[in-house]
Chains A and B, each alone.
Chain A
């Protein structure tokens, strides 16, 4: 145990890093505990990416309960004092979960004419924005001066390598279904908060049919995808379509009720 602790970076260093990287994490502090002699009030750990990244509670069953609760807190997005009970031992602990949220990230796959206004609008709404396209003449700084990250390379591959979190919103607007589909396949099982895909009703239906029949992807997974993408505002120009897409992203982020083109 001691050796492991020495290898770990000090808690404060990890906290500073979380801040710098604007990562999502939970600082867990035991405020009160009864029955467990190994743990004292003030014991702390930092949970990031589902793991204890720094600090040590010195009590594996408590750490396990803490990891589960930290995940819940992160999803809810709120810091909270929680009473935990360890079922095996009956020990009770008051544990405070300090939630640090990551900014939402919009991943725009396909750097065509809709992507340009979409990136511009999203940057005004505090999204971190990543643009991906396999064509360097589209995926570049001149075209997207506001984007946080621009990836020029195979789109499905780029998605596979990208960390996707419950704060990631993915917009698939490539130049054709030939490209949208492999990208969707890459992310459909991810924890992304939102996945939208462009395309006519007929194209989308055909794509979902293939997913169901050939790839045996479950209906409830397919049902998470917003396709055709965007809110139903009869958008026509690239700017209007970008607005309809971003409005749908905001609807999902904030839990709104406006009607989507996908009928949701």
Chain B
């Protein structure tokens, strides 16, 4: 059960467009499991987590782009090449993260919602 939806609802009702990033598949050792979610606002605020330092900054950056274009995107977060960085969150796996824009009035069928573009 995920309290994040309550917060998403509040923001959508204020008319904000959000990006919801969900870990949809993983390989190797990753900080969070499939299903982990975070929502990002147009200002880059974050609700929830998909694993802290491990790739979260990349996801946040992409999420802001998704909000701007209102086009979803799948990104691959590679945690293997982080070894040399001084980030404390070296995990060594790969996460595929789907980033999806949500806004009020959008009922999922993006295909029927051309006016929103």
Contact = CB atoms under 8 A, between A and B. Distances in A.
Given A12-B9, A19-B1, A98-B22, A80 B34 contact: yes
A22 B100 contact: no
A11 interface: yes
B108 A12 contact: no
B111 A40 contact: yes
B2 interface: yes
A56 B109 CA distance: 6
A42 B24 CA distance: 13
B110 A41 contact: yes
Nearest to B20: A29
A81 B100 contact: no
B34 A56 contact: no
Interface in A77-95: 78-81
Given A79-B34, A80-B34, A100-B1, A11 B108 contact: yes
B3 A19 contact: yes
Nearest to A57: B109
Given A12-B12, A78-B34, A42 B107 contact: no
Interface in A24-70: 29, 31-32, 37-45, 54-58
Interface residues of B, number: 28
A149 to B, nearest CB: 19
B6 interface: yes
B31 interface: no
Contacts of B55: none
Contacts of B72: 31, 41-42
Contact of B107 (A19, A56, A79, A99): A56
A57 B102 CA distance: 15
Nearest to A12: B9
A71 to B, nearest CB: 18
A213 interface: no
A263 B110 CA distance: 54
Contacts of A13: 9
A42 B9 contact: no
Contacts of A45: 108
Contact of B6 (A16, A22, A40): A16
A8 interface: yes
B34 A8 contact: no
Contacts of B12: 12
Interface string B74-117: 10000000000000000000001010111010011111100000
Contact of B2 (A1, A5, A19): A19
Interface residues of A, number: 37
Interface in B3-28: 3, 5-6, 8-9, 12, 22, 24-25
B112 A81 contact: no
Nearest to B73: A41
A43 B22 contact: no
B35 interface: yes
A12 B49 CA distance: 19
Contact of A58 (B74, B98, B112): B112
A96 interface: yes
Given A31-B98, A81-B24, A98-B22, A44 B5 contact: no
Given A42-B110, A54-B107, A16 B5 contact: yes
7 contacts: A8-B107, A10-B104, A12-B12, A12-B102, A29-B98, A42-B110, A56-B109
Interface of B: 1-3, 5-6, 8-9, 12, 22, 24-25, 34-35, 71-72, 74, 96, 98, 100-102, 104, 107-112
